[in-house]
Structure 1
C-alpha cells in the first residue's frame, strides 16, 4: 500500500510545528460560581476587596467545627465601609452571602435616575446590598439612597439599572 507523498509531508509538517505551551498556574476554586456571579469590574474597590477576602478565606480552620456534613457555618468579613456575611457548607463552598456597603460610588444608571427624577436634590448617604445564593444564577443588587433638598429628606430604593423599587 502506497501512502501519498502529500499526506506524508502534511504529517511531518504537523510534527515539526507542534509545540508545547506551558500554561500559568491555574487555580480551580470550589467558589468559582460565587466569583462569576458577583464580580463586576465597575464595583468600587471596597467591594472587590471584601469579595476577594472571601475567596481567599482558609476554610480549613472551620473543618473541626462541623459535626454534620449538612451544617452551614457563617463567617462575617468586616471593614469600616461594609461587611459580608458568608455561609459555607462543610466542603467549603459558599452557599450564600449577604453584602452591605456604606457610601460607595453608585452605578451611573442609579445616579442618572435620581438626577432625572429628583433634580436639585443631593445624595446624603447610600447603602448597597448584594445577595447571592448558590442555587440561583441571579445576584440581587439593591441600593438604598437618602437624598436631601433643603429641609426635605427622602429615602429611595433602586436596583443596579436605576429602576426605583
Structure 2
C-alpha cells in the first residue's frame, strides 16, 4: 500500500501577485509566486466558487489520488455526496476548500535550462507551473487532483 506522500506529487504555498478577471465573468487568472520564490504558478479559478484576492496565500497540492491510504481512485470519483452520511472513508479533499480534477498535458524546458514548465487543464481551467526540475520532477503526463486552501 502506498503512503499519502507517494500520491502527493507537488505541495507548495503561493502568494497571489496578479489577478486578471477581464476575460470571463466567473473566472480569473491568478499569477502567484511560491514562498521560496523558486516556483511561479498561473492558475484559472472559478471565483464564484472560490473567491481569491491579490496578496492572499494559497496552499496548493497536486495529488494522483484523494485516498488517504494512497490507493488509486479507480473511477470511484470524489464527488460522492452521500459518502460521509453513509460512513464513507474521509479523503484528502476533506482537508481543502477547492478541488479540481484534470490532466497534465505538456512540459517545456525553461529558458535557463534549470527549470521546467508543466501545463495542466482542469476542464478548460488552466494551470502552468514553472520551477526547478527537482521540485517538478514527480509530475508526469497523467491525471491529477488540484487541492487548494487558504
Structure with greater Cα Rg = 1
TM class by shorter-chain length? under 0.3
Normalization by structure 2: what TM-score? 0.28
Hey, which of these two has a bigger chunk of helix by percent?
Answer: 1
**Greater relative CO (CA pairs within 8 A, separation 6+):** 2
Greater fraction strand: 2
